[in-house]
Amino acid sequence: MNTKSPYQIKIGKILSVKQMTSMEKMFEIALPGEDLSHAPGQFVEVSLLGIGEAPLSVSSSPTKQGSFELVVRKVGKLTGALHKLKAGDEVGIRGPFGQGFPVRILEGNDLLFVAGGLGIVPLRSLINFVIGNRKNFGKVDILLGCRNPKEMLFHEELAGWKERLDVNFNCTVDKADPDWKGNVGLITSLIPGVTLDSERTFAVVVGPPIMYKFVIMKLLDKNIPERQILISLERHMKCGLGKCGHCQIGNTYCCQDGPVFTYEKVKAIGGAI
């Protein structure tokens, strides 16, 4: 049997399940006898027999050995079924798929991460990879925005990023609650306060589609070249194989040619962001 076939479903065992918010759970999954061997920004297809399959971004860093992590928002039949699973249960895994973040190109440069809402899920993979290989990268700024404090993910890790002396971390919420002591406002309000060298800065942006337009405008105001603005179009994907056409933009398939693209490339192929 050709285990390298992209159609081959591997059986993943759930090692742990963590409730993160009222809508999100994090699953730690192992593939017995092998590692996932993914790159930051790639995704896997997760399936349950008789229910369906969906693409999910890998949230853990490739430096994590023996298992990988997925964050699942409960929004439909499949994700609802996933939320009912517990440690010891099994799921189908295909992949990893897609072109992730160009780590080798990013090395030696300054990085500005901009995450909106669930955008922190795939960005976490790259952020933790960078932190794990900190000497290979320049200045690192991380900006995170959420609608409200209750939707914020990875609280312990965010606190750790904030305490690091080699990382500049800032976050904001659209609407505060009585216990929130941080910034209030859209994530675009944080960008003007970032000091950067536009020639050596790569901006990595992941979030809801409505966020891209306004964040990119702010980044261009900072004179960051279009080829140095990286965005992810993973929300367009379905099968992961370029067969269903769900993610097709012209002659480009997000699941195969992306999901990570430069803003320059997205403009050239006429993709809507």
| Residues making up the binding site | 71-73, 239, 244, 247, 255
Tokens 């285990």 locate to 3
Residues at the binding site for [2Fe-2S] cluster are 239, 244, 247, 255
Name the one residue in this structure whose structure tokens are 């922190």.
120
> Of 3, 53, 30, 51, whose CA–CA distance to 241 is shortest?
53
For 246, phi then psi, to 5°, come to -65, -35
What pairs with residue 212 in β-bridges?
A: none
Residues in binding site for FAD: 71-73
The number of residues in the chain equals 273
Pick left, alpha or beta for residue 29 (phi over 0 → left; psi -120 to 50 → alpha; otherwise beta). Answer: beta
- How far is it, in rounded angstroms, from Cα 175 to Cα 158? 19
Say how far apart CA 51 and CA 60 lie, in whole Å: 25
